[in-house]
Amino acid sequence: MRLSPTRILCAAILLLTLLLISFVTRLLFGQRGFDILPERPDAGTLRSRPNSNAPDVQYGEECAPFRAGALDDVTIVLKLGAGQVATQLPAYFSRLSRCTHNVLLFSDLKAEYGGFDIIDALANLRPEYKYNNPDFDIYDKIQHATVLEEKTTEGWRLDKYKFLPMIELADARRPKSNWFLFLELDTYVNWDNMQRFLASFDPKTPYYFGSPVWPRKKPVFAHGGSGFVLSRGAFNKLMARGRMFAENHRSPGTHLFGKDVRKECCGDEVLAKVLKESGIAIRGYWPMFNGESPSTLRFNWEQWCEAVLTLHHVQPDEFASLEHWEAGRPQRSKPLTFETLFPHIEPALQERRDDWTNLSEDITYTGKKTAGRSWEACRAACSHVHKCMQYEHIGDTCRLSRSIRLGHAQPASSAAGKATSGWMTNRIESFKAFDTRRLAWLCVSHRYIPDCGRSVHPLEFWGFQGAGWVGL
């Protein structure tokens, strides 16, 4: 049979079509590009790390990685505002100090708390950064105030200036630390999982881990409130970059790495720019580093068997509730995943809950002639939508969601109108029964990503940054 140009073209089109179908099928239904966080880090990996003797951690016990010495090389860096010292710091620090004293506190006012120095991250900045800069008007007020309010909108204007000086000051105070974990006072950390996670990486390599944010036409950065991690290798490269602008080994925290921070949105974004200029790109680990609290988290097939490293916007009562629940959860030695966290919120999921928004958001119907005319009509709409797990009715609006979320109370006096929420409890039970079996296989599988030219790291999710993947 003669291979005419037409036949060759048809064959090429057919081949490309088959390849496209195969790729899409694997993307949607195939093996995932990561493994579940292991119950115990591989001893061989631990031995390969400098100064590591593979400590035996009794996972599930309070402060277990700290008591075993497995996190001795990790410095926790807490960023706060001067007004939070009297309000939010006591409860947070009480929980943290039960586990470790390797903590650095940075604020916009020098102080002392519980025998720890609170370092003014802005004190050493050269005068030219503060001169004729309206953002620093509030800084001067803070220095001379007799009574400090909790963090205000004005106070947040100073926040973006703290990140870069904090890096140099932290390096000066903890020159031997291998890892630096940056947190805020409403950031929850599962320490067992954090130790398991860090144990798989060599701190000499420049690493920048966190929950990625994609601003338009700007470098991807790790969301500060979700917590982010920098390795010793990353710190060393940042210090080398800083020496272009100042002698940071003699006077740390005096400069802003050549950045006009006044024109920038946020400190975590500015830091990412400097990291990129230093040759360090983020490796995104969402949803492990997460910007949601237990009440706003999305529980669905995509996240079900992911490990929980951090949560954000966790209020004091949520900290207490989560701490109490963790102390009594079954199989505490196993990694905390979204699946194992789900029972924490599950008792609050009901067929109907008045004066409550469950944050449904996937599909919206508005108007009296749609599912928005009543709660009953909204529920019926959810029942007719495949994989709809929950719904909420507010005023003449009905919203449906394919994820499961708890949400929060919304008083009937709200301007939006009375909020009534509901969950398809029968579907939730079916999801748990079916997807637990299905995802148990998916989570322990391994997918080869051709674009990377190699198999992804066992702990990496969805995308390898080195080939331009930062999650999907």
The two tokens of residue 307 are: 């490990």
Cα–Cα distance between 341 and 329 in angstroms, integer? 9
Q: In this structure, which CATH number among 3.40.50.11290, 3.50.50.60, 2.60.40.10, 3.50.4.10 belongs to the domain 349-423?
A: 3.50.4.10
Higher pLDDT, 364 or 132: 364
Q: Is the pLDDT of residue 405 over 70?
A: yes
pLDDT, one tens digit per residue, over 419-470 is 999 999 999 999 998 755 555 555 554 332 222 222 333 333 333 232 222 3
% of the chain surpassing 70 pLDDT = 81
Mean pLDDT of 249-264: 88
- Cβ neighbors of 95 (< 8 A, separation 6 or more) are 319, 323
Bridge partners (DSSP) of residue 267 are none
Which range has the worst mean pLDDT, 197-206, 251-260, 337-346, 395-404? Answer: 251-260
What are the residue ranges spanned by the domains of the chain? 43-284, 349-423
Confidence of residue 156 (pLDDT cuts 50, 70, 90): confident
Mean pLDDT of 85-101: 92
Confidence of residue 143 (pLDDT cuts 50, 70, 90): confident
Complete DSSP assignment for 228-277? EEEEHHHHHHHHHHHTTTS-TTTSTTS--TT--GGG-S-HHHHHHHHHHH
Write the class of the CATH domain 43-284: alpha beta
Cα–Cα distance between 125 and 11 in angstroms, integer? 66
Mean pLDDT of 284-295: 95
| Angle formed by the axes of helices 137-144 and 153-173, nearest 10° | 80
pLDDT, one tens digit per residue, over 8-62 is 777 777 778 766 755 554 444 433 333 445 555 554 444 445 445 557 899 999 9
Task: Give pTM, 2 decimals.
Answer: 0.82
Mean pLDDT, the chain, whole residue set: 83
Q: What are phi and psi of 408, to 5 degrees?
A: -155, 165
Q: Is the pLDDT of residue 323 over 70?
A: yes
